[in-house]
């Protein structure tokens, strides 16, 4: 379902740990315009527990979350 | 000069092992001290103590080595500075609190505000045995409410709007107690396992998880000491504005059921949870009748 969404940029945070995972995601989102979509690849465990929550509380919109093996692919639309 | 030790203890002056030396206990409301209060306490420690402050485990500040000869002078200076001293003995003690929803990412309830209301109502009140209160904004329980005679824990109850759910499974991942499982691509919650911390609500990308109830879980019977034990939940989802009444009903039930030497934990053990709850409700009913 997320395949027809135009992704503006991609970020791989699978080598990072909290809070760098969120900081990198936040900084990347700030480079986007409102409405543009960021793809984030993150690990299972602690990142998937914290990143969606933090992204949501910062006012961005999570469009989809998809599990790919041991990793997750998160599509985030930049909020205001 | 005759010394009324009980009167001193009431006002937060604790006898040291060294003759005529006292520890002066201050209390910080909801765990906060302003910069000005800190400066004043520091000055008092220089002037009356030995230039240091002991930080207590229950968010208090103590100045040791105050000589009895300086008691009156220090007491009047404390009151001029607008500082509040702690208490000890068989009384309701300082109400401990975490920062809560005011600033914490996980906070569900404004624990500091509730702590201030409880402090205003109960601080220093004489009870059969020492009674400690703590308020945490969420089930992470940083203020350790389960270690206190009476504790409040901010909580939220989730419910799923399946129309909005996209079946991503994040809620299952973020649930700390495996209360949510994915069945045929849809989340299913086992309410008995829910810890009410609201991770599913906070993480859900589509707001499919929503809150039905928010309030405090009421714990009673926690204590540390030589025979530590954790408190247990005796009521759920108490709105902030009813926190004072809820605590009052626990205190009243304790006063009624108490036997010599018991803290709330011991009374609860002896009479059982149901009997204790019944007494709490009886008190609440009496209160309602008298209005």
DSSP B41-79: HHHHHHHHSSS--EEPTTSEEEEEEEEGGGHHHHHHHHH
Contact B213, B137 (CB under 8 A): no
Angstroms from A74 CA to nearest CA on chain B: 10
| Number of domains forming the structure of chain B | 2
Report pLDDT for B290.
54
- ipTM of the complex in this document: 0.77
In a domain, residue A64? The reply is: yes
Residues B37 and B137 in one domain: no
pLDDT surpassing 80 at residue B69: yes
Active site residue A70: no
In a domain, residue A1? The reply is: no
| Number of domains forming the structure of chain A | 1
CA-CA distance, B147 to B135, in Å (whole number)?
11
CA-CA distance, B85 to B66, in Å (whole number)?
14
pLDDT surpassing 80 at residue B46: yes
- B190-233 residue pLDDT tens: 999 999 999 999 999 889 999 999 999 999 999 999 999 999 99
- Closest CB to B166: pick one of A48, A54, A64: A64
Q: Domain containing B98: what range?
A: 92-156+214-239
- Chain A residue whose CA is closest to B172: A49
Residues B17 and B127 in one domain: no
> What's the whole-number mean pLDDT along residues B54-61?
94
- Closest CB to B202: pick one of A53, A64, A66: A53
Angstroms from B151 CA to nearest CA on chain A: 27
Q: In terms of Cα–Cα distance, which of B180, B146, B174, B152 is closest to B239? A: B152
Residues B15, B17, B21: CA angle, nearest 5 degrees: 55
Q: Domain containing A19: what range?
A: 7-77
Q: Distance from first CA to last CA of chain B, Å, rounded? A: 47
In a domain, residue A2? The reply is: no
CATH number of the structural domain spanning residue A63 = 3.30.110.40
CATH number of the structural domain spanning residue B148 = 3.30.413.10
pLDDT surpassing 70 at residue B25: yes
Residues B107 and B55 in one domain: no
Q: In terms of Cα–Cα distance, which of B258, B6, B233, B24 is closest to B129? A: B258
In a domain, residue A69? The reply is: yes
- B138-147 residue pLDDT tens: 999 999 999 9
pLDDT band for position B274 (cuts 50, 70, 90):
very high
Report pLDDT for A1.
47
pLDDT surpassing 70 at residue A3: no
pLDDT band for position B285 (cuts 50, 70, 90):
confident
CA-CA distance, B225 to B261, in Å (whole number)?
14
Whether A10 contacts chain B with CB within 8 A: no
- Chain A residue whose CA is closest to B201: A53
- Closest CB to A52: pick one of B105, B166, B205: B205
Report pLDDT for A80.
84
Query: Which pTM value belongs to this model?
Result: 0.88
- Chain A residue whose CA is closest to B167: A65
Whole-Å CA distances, B71 to B4, B15, B65, B90, B215: 12, 12, 11, 22, 43
């Amino acid at each position: 379902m997320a395949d027809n969404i135009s992704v503006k940029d991609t970020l791989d945070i699978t080598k990072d740990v909290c809070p760098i995972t969120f900081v990198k995601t936040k900084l990347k989102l700030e480079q986007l315009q409102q409405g543009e979509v960021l793809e984030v690849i993150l690990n299972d465990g602690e990142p998937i527990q914290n990143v969606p929550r933090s992204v949501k509380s910062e006012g961005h919109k999570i469009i989809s979350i998809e599990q790919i093996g041991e990793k997750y692919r998160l599509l985030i639309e930049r909020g205001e | 000069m005759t010394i009324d030790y009980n009167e001193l203890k009431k006002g937060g002056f604790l006898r040291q092992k060294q003759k005529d030396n006292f520890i002066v206990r201050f209390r910080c409301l909801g765990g906060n001290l302003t910069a000005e209060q800190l400066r004043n306490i520091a000055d008092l420690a220089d002037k009356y103590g030995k230039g240091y402050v002991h930080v207590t485990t229950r968010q208090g500040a103590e100045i040791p080595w105050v000589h009895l000869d300086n008691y009156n002078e220090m007491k009047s200076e404390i009151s001029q500075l607008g500082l509040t001293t702690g208490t000890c003995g068989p009384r309701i003690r300082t109400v401990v609190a975490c920062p809560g929803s005011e600033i914490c990412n996980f906070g569900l309830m404004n624990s500091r505000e509730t702590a201030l209301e409880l402090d205003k109502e109960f601080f220093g009140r004489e009870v059969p045995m020492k009674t400690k209160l703590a308020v945490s904004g969420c089930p992470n329980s940083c203020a350790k409410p389960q270690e206190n005679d009476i504790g409040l824990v901010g909580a939220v109850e989730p419910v799923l709007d399946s129309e909005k759910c996209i079946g991503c499974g994040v809620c299952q991942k973020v649930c700390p107690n495996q209360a949510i499982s994915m069945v045929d691509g849809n989340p299913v919650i086992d309410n008995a396992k829910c810890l009410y911390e609201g991770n599913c609500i906070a993480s859900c990308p589509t707001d499919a998880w929503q809150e039905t109830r928010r309030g405090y879980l009421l714990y009673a019977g926690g204590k540390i000491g030589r025979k530590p034990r954790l408190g247990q939940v005796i009521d759920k989802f108490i709105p902030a504005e009813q926190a004072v009444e809820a605590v009052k009903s626990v205190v009243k039930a304790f006063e009624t059921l108490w036997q010599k030497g018991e803290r709330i934990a011991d009374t609860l053990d002896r009479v059982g949870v149901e009997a204790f709850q019944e007494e709490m409700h009886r008190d609440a009913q009496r209160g309602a009748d008298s209005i």
